[in-house]
Amino acid sequence: MKRISPAQIGAIFFLAFSGINLSLAAETVRLIGSGASFPFPLYSAWFKNYSRTHKNVNIDYQAKGSGAGIQDFINRTVDFAASDAAMKPEEMARVPGGVQVLPMTAGEIVLAYNLPGNPKELKLPREVYPEIFLGKITKWNDPKLQSANPQIKLPDLPIAVVRRADSSGTTFVFTSHLSAISPAFKNGPGAGMTVNWPSSDKFVAAPKNDGVAATVKQTPGAIGYIEYAYAIGAKLNMASLQNKAGQFVPPGPEGGIATLANTQLPEDLIAWIFDPEGEKSYPITTFTWMLFYKQNGDPKKAETLRDVVEYCLTEGQKMSPKLGYIPLPQNVVEANRAAAKNIQ
């Protein structure tokens, strides 16, 4: 028998292990997503944790805003997208093979404010805060605001309204809520990811949720609409809003959970809650969606995306309250799990 030299043995092992390494490299999956900034703190945590336990998976999600995410998705420059405005039928029709929309989490849009003396318990009646965003109430000591807050001496200070500068699902949900409770708003700016806000030097535009939060924080007299988690992160004061039942409800898990408990999902999994029933319901609570291709063209990516969805529906939901989001009710989890099978 011919003897094998040590050099030959080393070469054999090198080739064997190189083959293994090449195989592992070939199995590495990179997923690219973009869209809503509303759920970004939660999605970022989900994807980082998933990649820690799945070393061969890298997920890159960029919070560009819902409008940009939908456009990326239509252009197929991403593997998935996210939108607080879900996706319109006419937009879905532009995606060959079909779209699977999944409500992956829920949250609250709050009205954060910056007032001298840092008052904590501002109340905003439902007939009052639409007028602020219509530019009709322009001073903090307006009689309508003062009468709702006798415990606070509101200042003679102009109200600086901070709104989104980009195409935004947060704007869509907020303006849809205002349109649902205020005929004047419905007939004025109306609802949309971008709307024509009043022409006033007291309306300030800022990009994404973190931009609105930062602008409110640095502008005395400011009020702006942002996702709850961003307000918590920026340590901003948030108003209690009067709901349909006439109750003033502060932002937080209890009001959001109460709202979702009264919500049933339709077959397409797109449910809007623009003016919820219930005494404990927080009035601006919403699902936010991930968008997936039903036909990916890459079996490995499709399999990985289904596994990511399952992780988000199980371990991911446990992280929601700590980060300022609302865990999905079990019926929504099960509906998502069944629909995720369409990602192929």
The H or E element containing residue 338 is: helix 330-339
Residues 6+ apart with CB under 8 A from 234: 112, 213, 214, 216, 217
Is the distance from CB of 61 to CB of 43 less than 8 angstroms? yes
* CATH architecture group of domain 29-106+286-342: 3-Layer(aba) Sandwich (3.40)
| CATH number for the segment(s) 108-261 | 3.40.190.10
Is the distance from CB of 56 to CB of 104 less than 8 angstroms? no
pLDDT, tens digit, 9 for 90 and up, residues 29-55: 999 999 999 999 999 999 999 999 999
**Residue 9 confidence (pLDDT) above 70:** no
The residue ranges of every structural domain in the chain are 29-106+286-342, 108-261
**Residue 262 — pLDDT band, cuts 50, 70, 90?**
confident
**Residue 103 confidence (pLDDT) above 50:** yes
Please report the pLDDT score of residue 5 as a whole number: 56
Residues 6+ apart with CB under 8 A from 256: 106, 107, 108, 228, 282, 285, 326
Please give the mean pLDDT across all residues of the chain.
92
Please report the pLDDT score of residue 249 as a whole number: 97
Please report the pLDDT score of residue 264 as a whole number: 87
Please report the pLDDT score of residue 263 as a whole number: 87
Distance, in Å, from the CA atom of 320 to the CA atom of 63, rounded to the nearest integer, reads 18
pLDDT, tens digit, 9 for 90 and up, residues 298-332: 999 999 999 999 999 999 999 999 999 999 999 99
Q: What is the pTM of this model?
A: 0.88
The encoded tokens of residue 10 equal: 């080393």
pLDDT, tens digit, 9 for 90 and up, residues 267-280: 999 999 999 999 99
**Residue 94 — pLDDT band, cuts 50, 70, 90?**
very high
Fold agreement (29-106+286-342, 108-261): yes
Residues 6+ apart with CB under 8 A from 127: 144, 182
**Residue 18 — pLDDT band, cuts 50, 70, 90?**
very low
Please report the pLDDT score of residue 183 as a whole number: 98
